[in-house]
Amino acid sequence: MNKISSVGNGNLNELTGHDLNDQPKDHTDKQKLTTVEVQLNSIKKFNGQDAVEKWLTQIIEIFDSFQLSSNERNKLISDILTGEALIWYFKQRHHKATFNSFIQNLLHQYENKTSRSAQSSSLESASKQSEQETMSAFKEIIVEPLRNQMLIASLEKLQKFSGKSKQNVSKWLRETQQAMYILQLTDEDKLFFISTCLEADARDWFFDNMHLFKTWTLFTQKLINTFESTGKADISFHRLRHYQQGLTQDVRQYYFEIMKLCKEANALMDDASKLQYLKDGLKPSLRFDVLLKNPQTTEEFLKYAQKVEELKLLDEKDSMIDQAVNRKSPDPPTLKSKAMNINSLQIHQPISSHQLNFNNSYKNTQFNSNNNSGREPATAPTTNEYYTAVPKPPYQCYRCGAGDHYIRNCPYFQERGH
């Protein structure tokens, strides 16, 4: 009976799918799965892009450490996938696959993809390397020689240094370095191409001592030490002490000339000394206004001097405009000028004998009156004297228009009468 009962209970358990210790076992399984999930969180979820074999190895090690069954492992698959791989998994779930078949399908799907990606990367890398080699060969064969020819052509246009005493080696070197800077040459390139900028004694000196020029800096130092004039500093200092701004030289040109002389006289000259030389040589028309600003640096001096110069030029232009306007607009005629014009008109008119006699008598009357003015007071003129003094209008011949006779004395009239 007990046997039958036990068999019955066993069959019942098999039919219902439960066991007497189901409750405690389910609780234990849940705890175990929770612990496994915690461990799995420490591993990056597979997204279809990483190395699939390495990732599977880590997952299987965790599952084995917890002795998970195939069903338990299947339950955790969706928790360990993400992105593209998770989508792929849900598309494959209708096959009711086990964990082992999941591994097989996953490897088939992504191992080939990884190998294809690796192969593609390898091909791309090989292609890039081939392109780089081709480009490098192209540069070496075509670009570099062409660039060198262009550089040589550009440098040959510069002034060459021969080593003669009349040449200023510091100035030449400064201009040459500026040109090389524009051409974006490195120090090695400068040392390589500098021979194209030398001639005569300087070129011979370069090739004789080429083994000493390890760097561009060493070359410039030895060049200056060899070809720099020993008395150049004294000459520059003498010019600096007596240099004056020219009448047509603007402030900017004067400033740069003084600064150049300061550098030639003493490369380590302090800013205060340079400023003093700038003040001493400035033209008198600007000096007072600039000194009034009291510049403290050479930069301030240039700023103030340029401003004063601009204002002076503007004032001169305004004065020139005013003078031009005054020359174009003459003064209005005065009474004196009118009188002069009237006199000039009278000079060109014919004078009659009657007018001439009247003028002489008028002058004599004026002369006598002036002589008698000191002896007796002037009396008022009588009526006869008044009418005598008034000039009569000039007469003329109404026949011929002459002013020296009347019509009765006109020769033309008499001839007609005969």
The reported pLDDT for the residue numbered 128 is 74
Instruction: Assess whether 280 and 261 both reside in one domain.
Output: yes
Measured CA to CA, the distance from residue 178 to residue 171 in angstroms comes to 11
The reported pLDDT for the residue numbered 261 is 87
- Does residue 280 or residue 30 have the better pLDDT? 280
Residue type present at position 310: E
379, part of any domain = no
Percent of the chain with pLDDT over 70: 61
**Angle, CA 100 vertex, CA 97 and CA 103 arms, to 5°:** 95
345, part of any domain = no
400 secondary structure, DSSP code: T
- The total number of structural domains that make up the chain: 3
29, part of any domain = yes
Which one of 99, 117, 135 terminates a domain?
A: 117
270, part of any domain = yes
pLDDT in tens, 226-275: 887 767 777 888 888 889 988 888 899 999 999 988 888 887 888 999 99
Instruction: Assess whether 246 and 170 both reside in one domain.
Output: no
Which one of 323, 344, 361 terminates a domain?
A: 323
Measured CA to CA, the distance from residue 350 to residue 113 in angstroms comes to 131
Instruction: Assess whether 263 and 220 both reside in one domain.
Output: no
Instruction: Assess whether 110 and 11 both reside in one domain.
Output: yes
328, part of any domain = no
What pairs with residue 81 in β-bridges?
Answer: 46
Measured CA to CA, the distance from residue 239 to residue 396 in angstroms comes to 88
Measured CA to CA, the distance from residue 229 to residue 166 in angstroms comes to 9
60, part of any domain = yes
Instruction: Assess whether 222 and 264 both reside in one domain.
Output: no
Instruction: Assess whether 18 and 34 both reside in one domain.
Output: yes
With beta carbons less than 8 A apart as the criterion, state whether 206 and 216 touch: no
Least confident piece of the model among 4-18, 121-135, 397-411: 4-18
Instruction: Assess whether 67 and 110 both reside in one domain.
Output: yes
The reported pLDDT for the residue numbered 94 is 63
Instruction: Assess whether 79 and 25 both reside in one domain.
Output: yes
List the domain range (segments joined by +) for residue 284: 232-323
pLDDT in tens, 48-95: 777 777 877 877 777 777 777 777 777 777 777 777 777 777 777 666
* Backbone dihedral angles phi then psi of residue 46, each to the nearest 5 degrees: -80, 130
Instruction: Assess whether 61 and 27 both reside in one domain.
Output: yes
Which one of 174, 193, 227 terminates a domain?
A: 227
Measured CA to CA, the distance from residue 244 to residue 281 in angstroms comes to 4
What are the residues whose beta carbons fall under 8 Å from the beta carbon of 374, sequence distance 6 or more?
Answer: none
Instruction: Assess whether 236 and 222 both reside in one domain.
Output: no
pLDDT in tens, 282-333: 998 888 989 998 999 999 999 999 999 988 888 877 777 777 777 765 555 5
* H helices present in 266-297, as ranges: 271-281, 284-293
Instruction: Assess whether 267 and 299 both reside in one domain.
Output: yes
The 3-state secondary structure of 62-113, one letter per residue: HHHHCCCCHHHHHHCHHHCECHHHHHHHHHHHHHCCCHHHHHHHHHHHHHHH
What pairs with residue 161 in β-bridges?
Answer: 198
Instruction: Assess whether 256 and 222 both reside in one domain.
Output: no
274, part of any domain = yes
- Does residue 196 or residue 6 have the better pLDDT? 196
Measured CA to CA, the distance from residue 231 to residue 31 in angstroms comes to 98
CATH of the domain at 278: 1.10.1200
Q: Is the pTM of this model over 0.75?
A: no
157, part of any domain = yes
